[in-house]
A and B are shown apart, each in its own frame.
Chain A
């Protein structure tokens, strides 16, 4: 589904990302871990064409993302709060995203009804603007908005950060359900090794912009990751 070839990104001559070859098949739940500055967000930004690659390219469903915009209809993402529109209520935000992804009000209502549990009665019908919600609740709204419109590729940058324990557990459930049918490719990054080994079938460890480990998740993965990051 997603292939990166000879992909590098440098800022003022300093290389922050170097992926000679990375291939993520359709329907995979792909986890990205690494310390700060490892290049996780850089990779996601390149994938969303928010920054320009220095060399190489990323193809999503055989579409080179920085040359065509045709990847947008089947891709959705939540990277950080700058993906929220502060002066909208969560409902209005969902409808707006639904509108531009070709979903009518009823479709959106149907979808968000499924996440009532996840919202924990803190998002809908509160008559509050997104800018007035807490960080955690903003994140909840952002994640759910990324699920609107039947995307085939979902990118979530550190989805577990700022969420309370209950919501973290619910989010894990949601991600697992998404990849059940193997139609949807989910890419997440996380600093929480336990969560990421729980939900991802494949985990890639980045260090200074390069892949140092590429693991198929098994019983031993968490131990291996912990050993890796302890050094």
Chain B
């Protein structure tokens, strides 16, 4: 049976149009994976001498175990955002004579072979070897220690899926994990319950008495069992077929009538944003974007770096523009055929999106005015950045959209969802953020602050002046790729 499953998985992966069309993203992911492998290897090799240097009085082994609690928390946190339970299309399997048990065990078993579970080995193994060769530890002790770490990693693996399945229903899906990890960290930090000691003592106990290994193994078994039950329940069709139907909310969007003939599209766009998970995340990002400056400005170090002002300004005032704009027209991909066969002028369709983005820039600029607390220059730079966003970035991102060939499933979770992301989305970041920052940085460095701001402002104003002409050009680009987009949007990834 497992052979059949593996065969299906293989075909699913390599025959998906997503893989074939998205080689660049795959290369990028492989590159990231290799990068992390290298980092962990380096960490594993350097761990022993570093710990020796910083804690000369202590045994590196003990020090490392003392940090293990943070390792576990960090691991869990990162897993939540990047690791997904392997998906298997089970519907066709349910009517075949296959035990549900087998399917569930396969899915869970497969998750144990995730990249995230192998990554720690690259650090643990070299560190362990060093402990034996330089630290004078028994090989058997270290082997038991490594085994413990592997079990802890697997515990995290299955704990993560439980957290994910609990939080996937909620609106702010990342809140539970932040609460859990933050809570544990706080309890530990304020010495209410010292998990650091607890974990360290636990490891010591296991190393001293290998029979204690049973404790983590038992914990692992319990977590596996909980996962098993959660998944098994999901394997019945009525839970996946019977969709929870939310009652439709009525929204009064009469005010959009002020915008004349683009009003129907604006209403559609606003409903798109408020009623779909994926699109709604661009609203949450507004808050995040607004606070972005607070990461930098309170620190005097960054306040010296004036070239950062424009970059942060672009980001703060343009967060919605970037987030929403990069998926034009993929937002409408699921009903693109309708739009193309209806009496719609492309120009108005695009103008509606354009208007929304401009409005967001203006609103974000107004909301970011309090940053003036950190200095006048920041306000001026943000103003220039907002004008640049309106005049240049809005057009650039819409032009990028005409190269968009990736469908978006509106209902899917948003955080770290790469669906709909192609090479274009990665490349578009360059003119959007890097160009204004570089340009301003250079002018600010070689001439002065005022010249830099003036040039950024001028570019924005030029864009606004030639708006009609630019839009005509962009509209033509969309028209030219009409058939290709219809074809691409009607394919599943």
Measured CB to CB, the residues of A under 8 A from B are 48-52, 72-73, 75-77, 79, 82-89, 92, 96-97, 99-102, 127-129, 131-132, 149
Contacts and interface: CB of A to CB of B under 8 A. Distances in A.
A83 B338 CA distance: 4
Interface in B225-245: 243, 245
A82 B272 CA distance: 15
9 contacts: A72-B344, A82-B334, A86-B334, A87-B275, A92-B271, A99-B263, A100-B264, A127-B247, A129-B275
A50 B338 contact: no
A51 B344 contact: no
Interface string B13-36: 000000000000000000000000
Contact of A52 (B246, B483, B490): B483
A150 B340 CA distance: 19
B248 A128 contact: yes
A230 B478 CA distance: 46
Task: Pick the 6 closest A-B CB pairs, nearest first.
Answer: A99-B264, A72-B343, A132-B245, A87-B275, A83-B338, A48-B341
Given A48-B337, A50-B341, A83-B341, 9 more contacts: A50-B483, A72-B342, A83-B337, A83-B338, A87-B271, A87-B272, A100-B344, A128-B245, A128-B247
Contacts of A84: 335, 338
B301 to A, nearest CB: 45
Interface string B308-337: 000000000000000000000000001111
B45 interface: no
B343 A127 contact: no
Contacts of A83: 335, 337-338, 341
A127 B410 CA distance: 20
Contacts, number: 77
Nearest to B332: A85
A155 B245 CA distance: 31
B486 interface: yes
A88 B337 CA distance: 16
A50 B487 CA distance: 9
A147 to B, nearest CB: 14
Which of A77, A84, A131 counts the most B-chain CB atoms under 10 A from its CB? A131
B423 interface: no
B334 A88 contact: no
Contacts of B487: 51
A149 B490 CA distance: 27
Contacts of B360: none
B267 interface: yes
B486 A50 contact: yes
Given A72-B341, A129-B275, A96 B483 contact: no
B337 A82 contact: yes
Contacts of A72: 341-344
Contacts of B411: 131
Interface string B253-286: 0000000000110011001100110000000000
Which of B246, B341, B410 counts the most A-chain CB atoms under 10 A from its CB? B341
B342 A87 contact: no
B336 A82 contact: yes
A132 B243 contact: yes
Nearest to A142: B338
B488 to A, nearest CB: 13
A129 B490 CA distance: 21
Interface string B340-380: 11111000000000000000000000000000000000000
A99 B343 CA distance: 10
Which of B246, B247, B264, B343 counts the most A-chain CB atoms under 10 A from its CB? B343
A224 to B, nearest CB: 33
Contacts of B248: 89, 127-129
Nearest to A66: B483
A49 B335 contact: no
Contacts of B340: 48-50
Given A99-B264, A127-B248, A49 B336 contact: no
A180 to B, nearest CB: 25
Given A49-B341, A73-B343, A87 B410 contact: yes
Contact of B337 (A50, A89, A131): A50
Nearest to A151: B343
Nearest to B479: A69
Contacts of B410: 86-87
Nearest to B335: A85
A86 B486 contact: no
